Chain A
Amino acid sequence: MPPATKPDGRTVGSRWSHRLLSFLVVAGPGLIVMVADNDAGAISTYTQAGAQYGTKLLWVLLLLLPVTYFIQEMVARLGIATGRGHAAMIYRRFGKWWGRFSLFDLLLVNFLTLVTEFAAVALAADRLGLSPLIAVPLAAAALVGLVGTGSYRRWERMTLVLCGLDLAWFILAAMTTPDASTVIHDLVVPSVPAGGITPDLVFLVIAIVGTTIAPWQLFFQQSCVADKRLRFSDLKWARIDTFLGACMVVGLGLAMMLVGNALHQAGLDYTDPAQMAEALAPSIGHVGRTLILLMMVNCAILGATAVSLSSAWAWGEVACWSHSLQMRMSEAPGFYASYAACVALAAGLVLIPGAPLQEIIVSVQVLAGIMLPSAIIFLQLLLNDRELLGEAFVNKPWNNVVNWTVIAVLFALSLVLAAQVLAPELFPATTP
């Protein structure tokens, strides 16, 4: 019996088709949040890690796979159970004071992150022969156009296409012809790079953690799940969506680190991803160089839409504005205006000449890494809220063990950062 379309759904004739289609209609928030996480800052951090330490930090990424999944699964679960965004939940359950603090933290880091996205667009466009004065406003206009269609589904489909384009990083990594045995070894066997534990290494590791699991992701996925109106029965598909996304974010991070590793192997200096593309041109060709620059733009656009949306959703939830991609601009003016304002301000800031973009990019990741533990603590408290969630959606004991471990490790990393800033003499470079 061929599939028949009904006004309120689609009928299929086999259990497998049903499962596949059920997954496909639910998939999106998990994949988008993870792939968008590999934004301009992530490219910069991962390629810098590869350029400075070769493949020696690959194992950090593998460790972050379960961490990313567990955290984002909680967010998806909370979004499905309550139908509300993360900011709304903090505001309702912890009060206005904590709600406003959390919103301030989010908006601060998100705005700085957005600046880095446009910085990447400007850098890449410049190398591609397009003036940043044209490319940056064009990217900002495209970002507003992407969300302003009044259809969640249209936005999700377009964004998933952009996510698919990110797969080109695997081609780029293959073009650098890394040694497979070394890659596998460094992926599964943790080791400290030559030179020992230095302040720069600690700073970069915190940046990697901060870029792989960013605070905006918590807010974005929960709001996205709520906007898509996922149902209780969709939880298992949302979990698969999130797991596939976690694999993608780590896989793409690995590919980016391998591209940076090509610079390390050639003994070349690293300044930023655009300079890396130029430096690698002799080995990966003009096509490879152009592809890196185009991927910088793609990742920046993806990151910018997700980060801006997480801000606009959160603001809308706290201000009690209409805040849905299903609404037209005239129906949710505050939501779309805050999105457009974030985009326009960040784009404008990047066009100011002489901004130290690479420092901003790495520092934003560190800031995100520092803020993450506190964001997860609120998540942890909400997921243990039996009064609200009941037994069906509340954290299991093993969830709590994993989460408190993650929080402890993140706190330890941020304390190490504090110590190295206050007392750098505690971190002398050691010989391997």
Chain B
Amino acid sequence: MTSFDATLDRPLPCYRVIHPLDDTPELKCDPDRLGRMALRPVVKWSLLALRSYLIVMILLVGYRVFGSLGVL
């Protein structure tokens, strides 16, 4: 009987779920305090090469599309 009462008295576990939009905002990793990322020259040139590559590829796709439409 004593043990039964003890079970009744023990607080049941309870878990709280808060929707992110209702929760207190967290302090995030802030890019503003850091400014621009330091890029090594090789990374910088690679990105420039990538940009040139993209421009060429966009033109190629355009060429193919217009070609298939009989415009070129």
Tell me the number of A-to-B contacts counted with CB atoms below 8 Å: 132
CB contact under 8 A between A229 and B20, given known A381-B43, A388-B34, A421-B64: yes
A371-B54 contact given A84-B31, A92-B32, A231-B26, CB 8 Å threshold: yes
Identify whether the interface residues of A are mostly helix, strand, loop, or mixed: helix
Chain B binder among A13-21, A243-251, A303-311: A13-21
Q: Is the C-beta of A366 less than 8 angstroms from some C-beta in chain B?
A: yes
B42 to chain A minimum Cβ distance, whole angstroms, is: 12
Partner of B50, one of A12, A153, A377: A377
Is A425 in contact with chain B by the CB < 8 A criterion?
Answer: no
What residues of A have a CB within 8 angstroms of the CB of B28 in the complex?
A: 81-84
Give the CA-CA distance A209 to B57 in the complex, in Å: 16
Measured between beta carbons, the chain A residues less than 8 angstroms from B8 are none
Establish whether residues A414 and B57, one from each chain, have CB atoms under 8 Å apart when the complex forms: yes
- Does A385 have its Cβ within 8 Å of any Cβ on chain B? yes
Is B34 a contact partner of A8 (Cβ separation < 8 A)?
Answer: no
Asked whether, in the complex, the Cβ of A421 is within 8 Å of the Cβ of B60, the reply is yes
Q: Cβ of B10 < 8 Å from any Cβ of A?
A: no
A228–B23 CA distance with the chains assembled, in angstroms: 11
CA distance A17 to B14 in the complex (A): 10
Query: Chain A interface: which size bin?
Result: 35 or more
A26 at the interface (CB under 8 A from B): yes
Q: Mark B16-49, 1 if CB is under 8 A from A, else 0.
A: 1111111101101111101111010001000100
Q: Taking the complex as formed, is B6 at the interface, i.e. its CB lies under 8 A from any CB of chain A?
A: no
Shortest Cβ gap from B23 to chain A (Å): 6
Contacts of A387 in B (CB 8 A): 34, 37
Q: Does B4 contact A (CB under 8 A)?
A: no
Q: Interface 1/0s, chain A 393-432, versus B by CB < 8 A? A: 1000000000000000000001001100110000000000
17 contacts between A and B (CB under 8 A): A1-B12, A9-B17, A12-B16, A14-B13, A25-B18, A81-B28, A88-B31, A93-B37, A94-B37, A105-B54, A228-B21, A229-B23, A326-B21, A370-B61, A388-B34, A390-B29, A414-B57
Q: Which residues of A contact B (CB under 8 A)?
A: 1, 6, 8-15, 17-18, 21-22, 25-26, 81-84, 88-89, 92-95, 98, 101, 105, 152-153, 228-232, 234, 326, 356, 359-360, 363, 366-367, 370-371, 374, 377, 381, 385, 387-390, 393, 414, 417-418, 421-422
In order of increasing CB-CB distance, the 10 nearest A-B pairs are A18-B15, A9-B18, A83-B28, A92-B31, A93-B37, A21-B17, A370-B57, A363-B65, A229-B20, A25-B19
Chain B interface residues toward A at CB < 8 A: 12-23, 25-26, 28-32, 34-37, 39, 43, 47, 50-51, 53-54, 56-58, 60-61, 63-65, 68-69
